Amino acid sequence: MNEDLLLLIELQECDSKLVALLASKKILPEKIDKLDKDFGTFKESMEQNKKKHEELKCAHTEKEKEIKKINENIVKAKGRLLEVKNNKEYQAILKEIEVAEALCSEIETQVISLLDEMDNIFVLAKKDDDILSQRKQKYEEERKILEADINSLDMDFSKWEQKRNEIKIKINGSLLEKYEKIKNRNGGTGVVSVWKAVCNGCHMNIPPQLYNELQKTSDLLICPNCNRIIYYQNKNKEKAAV
């Protein structure tokens, strides 16, 4: 085969690889973003019970503070009972104590149900925590794999880019220009194989005469349908070689 054509075929291989690698390079960071986002949402949902438990704990502390304050007031009121001068005042303080004690007992009942609720939520939060830590492990493993993929992709990309540059300098300028023009007009493919008279670029039959010529000539021929540079590839021979 024509040396120029061999170089163009190699160049095409590099270009196709680079296009595919670029597409993956775009997809992988998007996959990582999605993974992060999904895990974030899951984490949030798994932390609802924990959050609720924290809220109940705060409410409990507040209630205990209220009880303490009321009890202090009761002690003070009882002290005042010893100092009163008349019955009316005495009765008023007794009433005050009675109201405070009733309130205190009401809050104590609330505290009991709060503690019950806290116990239940705590069990649920613990379960959620276990599920979350399992999921977190899986998430971190998946993320590591994607990050490694990005690294190897970058390495692959530079490798093919370098190979492309090495081939490019060996190809004569006007031929390279022709290839680039055809490639840019044809969705990134400028050189395609032909086997059994079918062009691998447009999947159309090429005329028999052209197919015959293609198998013999060392000239660069063009597919009359898609205008790509074509070369003959004997796929039977390839199979036999494998």
- Name the site residues for Zn ion (rule: CB under 5 A): 199, 201-202, 223, 225-226
Cβ nearer to Zn ion, comparing 157 with 195: 195
CA atoms of 13 and 7, how far apart (whole Å)? 10
Residue 132 neighbours by CB under 8 Å, 6+ apart: 42, 43, 46, 47
Report the residue number, 161 or 213, with the smaller CB distance to Zn ion: 213
Nearer to Zn ion, 25 or 178 (CB): 178
Nearer to Zn ion by Cβ, of 56 and 223: the residue is: 223
For CA atoms 88, 90, 91, 96, the dihedral sign is positive
Q: Report in angstroms how near the CB of residue 191 gets to Zn ion at its nearest.
A: 11
Tokens describing residue 90: 């005495």
In this structure, what token pair is assigned to residue 219?
């000239």
CB of 211 to Zn ion, least distance (A): 12
14 or 201: CB nearest Zn ion: 201
CB of residue 224 to Zn ion, shortest distance in Å: 8
Nearest approach in angstroms of CB 226 to Zn ion is 3
Give backbone dihedrals phi and psi of 74, rounded to 5 degrees, phi first. Answer: -60, -45
- Rounded Cα distance between 200 and 235, Å, is 12
Select 126 or 203, whichever has its Cβ closest to Zn ion.
Answer: 203
Compute the least distance from the CB of residue 229 to Zn ion, in Å. Answer: 10
CA angle 36, 42, 48 (to 5 degrees): 135
Tell the burial category of 190 from Cβ atoms under 10 Å away from its Cβ (0-12, 13-18, 19+). buried
Residues sharing a CB contact under 8 Å with residue 82, sequence separation 6 or more, in sequence order? none
- CB-nearer residue toward Zn ion: 24 or 205: 205
Please state the closest distance from residue 181 (CB atom) to Zn ion, in A: 16
Residue 208 CB, shortest distance to Zn ion, in Å, is 15
Tokens of 130: 């276990």
Number of neighbouring beta carbons within 10 Å of residue 221: 17
Place of tokens 């022709």: 178
